[in-house]
Structure 1
């Protein structure tokens, strides 16, 4: 053992001596290094011929525990060392991480600020320190905010509206949730650097833009009540719940958000809403926009659809057999087919241009409102569970109104009934009719 140690020491001393004289050295051969090489690895064959080495170069094998250590002691500890290692002095230090517990297996080089992977393996973006810096940037970019964070001296994990998660194995705190509602926020700077965010709630502020393209872990985005003019969520493929109502958004493309379950985009200026394939989508609120069409045929589990006050001229609901709530009032519909929507309990289609409406298959209906259309009659004999009926301002005659009661034994049990006045057919002039009386 002592002999091997002595040989090793002599070898190192010889290497240092050669470097001091020639500034170049060859290992494994007496041949001079190639021009331009500070260190040349060669191999001498049994015949004595000097050739390029065929054996590999072994890097130190370490267990990389922290990607962005900030102090000399943290740098050494990050790969299982001890003592203080200068951050700048060790730039270029190269190691091989052979433990995938915290980071993927592969070659890493110290850049002076973090361990950088030389391979294609994906490393979790950012660190606790980068999340803190992102919070500071966000805070300082909103000088009139009402967050009351002690941004310089406070504990970031205790800031109101933030939730951090700690990796039980690697011990890295990461910012997971940011909730800053009604906090006088005018800038989104810093948010896109919070790479591990899963929940963002920034409702009721003064944002005009929101960049979440780098926040690829986001599951929930709540940004209603701002003045946002555009919103790109194409990179947020894990998104489940998007609530962006009460803004100024004109186009919303959800093609890449395949797992979404809930969408609220009401009270915008939407002219285009691309929903795409959404097998898990159950809830859509897109009322008070400028939509002339909406395609929900690829959302078979849709239960709730509120698309009132738009410019819809037609809608296909044949694939949405689980719908229970449907609101289409204030559009330009001339026909509406709900024959396959047998789970409906709430149907509102007032203020359209309907001349007929068949609800005989919708036996679970409790609320039916179709006022301000052009219907001359309607059959509600199968709707025995109705508790609300509104059909005023259509083209019904006194005889049609009387038949509502005569043909429906449940008519007088409907708690809320509004059947008059009616328009004179083919006009918008109301006529004096009498609603059927009940005991």
Structure 2
């Protein structure tokens, strides 16, 4: 897929959609399991890999490092990290490419575990507030890594003569931090216990892939992981989960556009609280096998708490509600009947896109960087199309959903942000009947 940074979407909204849509492989899982191929010199096959900008950039980065990559058709790859060029990690090209990719931080744990050395520029990514790396580096230091930071070049270097298992209590249940520490610990000497570990399905998937490679990990699915280090890891075959953020996005899309949509092969047991939260917004759907069927409905009503007080939806570490879907929930609430308080606890800039929704006619009070009160007046005042810019992946898709439900034409600029996380999004929406084109 080719991406151009100045691309925009032109959308004619207000049209109901209909059909089936298949969610892509999970972006957040992909960045972890693809980085994990660096832990072994044997061949590792991964299926259901999404064709999106962030994942493709990580694969290209691994190829630059010397990983042999074979493409076996759509979404299927074989990786073999037999020969790695560690000198590349200190090149200007690596500094430039790594800094542009948030997921580049995920190669640190595997490189440190296998080679005793790792370098990484301060990663980029979404502009959604501070996304500190302390959990990654503190955990790796506890395993025995030495850590240096060159502030003039925003460049990190880590080294370790030998990683040794230890007990650690993470200061936050960071998903990427947990993944990095797990990948380092599987080749460390002795037993590593990680308490307050993230336990998202994508962490569980990473752990299952590592155990199929020969790692010894206990407590998968809980917030306490015990890892017994081994001398080396072998090859494996792994299939990624569908992207739960896409699934939630499509549920919201169906409600906003009054559409009849079937989301295929969702791995429903892995969705956690996501279905329940959308039901609280009044959205009706049913499970048909492993598909979610959403019928066309003109209205949906937000629930209140049992005592009649206003509903609050907040993010939390898994099994709490994922922060990546709060932007979608906020948009969906604008066309519901009733009010809801959205509390974004984890990122202080992620709600700043609501000014665009207010310009479209939504009734939203931004209380502070973390909280927004959405006053849903049903469809009494439909959203109207405007020109806007996508600030990050999730806000960009939220604005896209708003535009598809709005009356008239909308222009969304900087859609390269959306391309970072959503595969062939305009083609898949066009297949449902959406009037959207890339310009």
Query: Do the structures match in fold with TM over 0.5?
Result: no
Structure number with greater CO (CA < 8 Å, separation at least 6) is 2
TM range (shorter): under 0.3
Normalized against structure 2, the TM-score is what? Answer: 0.22
Higher normalized strand content (fraction of residues): 2
Higher normalized helix content (fraction of residues): 2
